[in-house]
Amino acid sequence: MSVTVRLPTVMRAHAGGQSEVRAEGGTIGEVVEDLIRQFPNMATHLRAPDGGLHRFVNVYVNDEDIRYLDSLDTKVDDGDEISILPAVAGG
Amino acid sequence: MLYGSILDLIGDTPLLDVSALSPNPRVRILAKLEGQNPGGSVKDRPAKAMVEEAEKDGRLQPGQTILESSSGNTGIALAMIAKVKGYPIKVVLPENVSVERRQLLEVWGAEIITTPGSEGSNGAMRRAQALAAEHPDWFFPYQYGNPDNPKAHYEGTGPEIWRDCPEVTHFVAGLGTAGTLMGVGRFLKERNPEVQVWAVEPPAGEMVDGLKSLEEGYIPEVFLDNDGFALLDAKLIVRPRESIEWTRRLTDVGVFAGISSGAAMAAAAKCAERIDEGVIVVILADGGWKYLSTGAWTDDLDVVEERAKRVIYF
């Protein structure tokens, strides 16, 4: 599966300034692996030391947070749009 | 009704049937109009609770200065309450909020401390934490970690919804401090474990380009202390364009609400499309008054969308 990944400002420098990149994978976990393969400096932004998703990173498939889907096992389809955003407060 | 204090008018907001906007005829959508609170937003509830609980146990003494960080609504609510009760107040505010939020803080006599817009609410919060550490004599409610914030919703908003609509199947609200979602969500699930709780967020992370690393990200203690990952059933991002479209659509049923309310309605409509039947209660956090300067209702949609991307409206 080929998907579009929207990057937050803080990660764009690791992708040559691009705000959107392409990645491959059948699950979010595989997409994250592919991103790190293409852009190794993203690893510290995406992964926690235990191999899970970094706690201050939210990943969305078609605007739905994967932590309330199947987390890294969430399936992706061709053409899905993945967004990565930092956790931000409001109020 | 006759009231002795403006603060007695906080809460007990109306629940309005806006099912005319539902994309699914078998799903009703009921909107809780929090803009009807005297300070103009849902934040009157936690602000009043945080102040009055602190008065009760002595953390807040007569004449003591109040300090809080806010993207607007909590600051405005606290400033109104502080003025009525005679406390000086300082509000740490990101510079990229709508001009009306700043003006309202001025109405209530708050001292505004501005932080860079590129750091968003996270930056304002960190500044407030640093100021609170330097000035232990100030009262710092700290809405993101204060249990009286979700408690105001557990004891107020939640029971009001249950009283007015015990047939509720889904609850939809914006996620900022998590106070509304945790307080109402917990209350409703205790009454009926089948109730689904959906959170709505703006893609605010796209504009906080001042974050130097994701280590500057933030999850409110209110969310973690209430086991938010387990309590929520879904979390959706609603983008500025869709938020504005739904803010406009709300006027078809006579509701003049803020942009975050448009986002919440967009999520409620998505929820209605996904389920077969049910009753959705959605929180409309504030009225539209504070967003007139964004041209949200009247200007060209493309122009307003670009403008909204640079303004914090949650």
Instruction: Indicate the pLDDT class of residue B311, thresholds 50, 70 and 90.
Output: confident
Question: How many contacts (CB atoms, under 8 Å) link A and B?
Answer: 104
For residues B112 and B204, membership in a common domain is answered with no
Is B272 found in the same domain as B164? yes
Q: Is A74 a domain residue? A: yes
The ipTM (two decimal places) reads 0.94
Please tell me the predicted confidence (pLDDT) of residue A53.
92
The whole-model pTM stands at 0.96
Same domain, B211 and B292: yes
**pLDDT surpassing 90 at residue B76:** yes
| pLDDT tens track for B271-291 | 999 999 999 999 999 999 999
Active-site residue flag, B309: no
Chain B: residue whose CA lies nearest to A69: B234
SS3 content of chain A, % helix, strand, coil (to 5): 35, 30, 35
B75: domain CATH number is 3.40.50.1100
Tell me if B62 is assigned to some domain.
Answer: yes
At residue A50, does pLDDT exceed 90? no
Domain that holds residue A25: 2-86
pLDDT at residue B89, as a whole number: 98
Contact (CB<8Å) B214/A57: yes
Q: Does A20 touch chain B (CB under 8 A)?
A: no
Q: pLDDT by residue (tens digit) across B229-247?
A: 999 999 999 999 999 999 9
CB of A56 within 8 Å of any CB in chain B? yes
B268: its two tokens: 């409620």
**Interfacial residues of B (vs A; Cβ cutoff 8 Å):** 43, 70-71, 73-74, 120-122, 125, 143-144, 174-177, 179, 199, 202-206, 208-209, 211-220, 229, 232-239, 312, 314
What local confidence, expressed as pLDDT, does residue B212 receive?
Answer: 64
For residue A81, the chain B residues in CB contact (below 8 A) are none
Average pLDDT (B254-266) is: 97
Task: Give the nearest chain A residue to B93 (CA atoms).
Answer: A91
**Overall domain count for chain B:** 2
pLDDT value for B189: 98
Encode pLDDT of B108-134 as tens digits: 999 999 999 988 888 999 999 999 999
Q: Do B295 and B201 share a domain, yes or no?
A: yes
B237 and A83: CB-CB below 8 Å?
A: yes
User: Could you tell me the two tokens for B139?
Assistant: 């009262």
* Band (B209; pLDDT cuts 50, 70, 90): low
Q: How many Cβ atoms from other residues are within 10 Å of residue A50's Cβ? A: 6
Determine the longest span between alpha carbons in chain B, in angstroms: 56
| B48 included as an active-site residue | no
What does the alpha-carbon distance between residue B271 and residue B170 come to, in Å, rounded to a whole number?
8
User: What letter would DSSP give residue B158?
Assistant: H
Q: Find, in chain A, the residue whose alpha carbon is nearest to that of B233.
A: A68
Q: Where are the beta strands (DSSP E) in B13-115?
A: 15-17, 27-33, 66-69, 89-94, 111-115
pLDDT of residue B203: 82
Radius of gyration of chain B (CA): 18
Are B24 and B50 within one domain? no
Does any CB of chain B come closer than 8 Å to the CB of residue A89?
yes
Question: Which one-letter amino acid corresponds to residue B263?
Answer: A
**What is the share, in percent, of chain B residues with pLDDT greater than 90?**
89
pLDDT value for B17: 98
Residue A91 within a domain: no
- pLDDT of B210 over the 70 cut: no
Q: Residue B314: its chain A contacts at CB < 8 A?
A: 90-91
> Domain boundary residue among B134, B166, B184?
B134
Residue B8 has pLDDT above 80, yes or no: yes
Same domain, B177 and B304: yes
The domain containing residue B242 runs over which residues? 6-36+157-308
Chain A CB contacts of B175 under 8 Å are 90
Does residue B277 share a domain with residue B168?
Answer: yes
**Residue B206 reports pLDDT greater than 80:** no
- In angstroms, rounded to a whole number, what is the distance separating the alpha carbons of residues B105 and B101? 6
B267 CB neighbours in chain A (<8 A) are none
- pLDDT score of B155 more than 80: yes
- In the structure, what pLDDT confidence band is assigned to residue A91 with cuts at 50, 70 and 90? confident
Nearest to A8 among B144, B206, B229 (CB): B206
What pLDDT, on a 0 to 100 scale, did the predictor assign at position B310?
A: 82
Share of chain B above pLDDT 70, in %: 96
Residue A89: list chain B partners with CB under 8 A: 120-122, 125, 144, 176-177, 218, 220
Shortest CA distance from B314: residue in chain A: A90
Average pLDDT of span B164-170: 98
- Best probe of the A interface among B235, B261, B286, by most A CBs < 10 A, is B235
pLDDT above 70: residue B82: yes
Contact B217 A65 (CB under 8 A): no
Same domain, B13 and B126: no
Residue type, position B163, single letter: R
Contacts of B70 in chain A (CB under 8 A): 91
Element (H, E) at A46: helix A43-46
Catalytic residue chosen out of the listed positions B32, B41, B43, B261: B43
Same domain assignment for residues B49 and B21? no
Q: How far is A16 from chain B (nearest CA, A)?
A: 16
Average pLDDT, chain B: 95
The letter for the amino acid at B183 is G
How crowded is the C-beta side of B91, counted as CA atoms within 13 Å?
A: 32
> Among partner residues A8, A45, A60, which is closest to B237 by beta-carbon distance?
A60
B200 and B111 within one domain:
no
Quick one: pLDDT at residue B105?
98
B66, B21: one domain: no
Token pair listed for A81:
């749009």
With left for phi above 0 and alpha for psi between -120 and 50, is residue A44 left, alpha or beta? alpha
Average pLDDT over all residues of chain A: 93
Q: How many domains does chain A have?
A: 1
Mean pLDDT of A24-42: 96
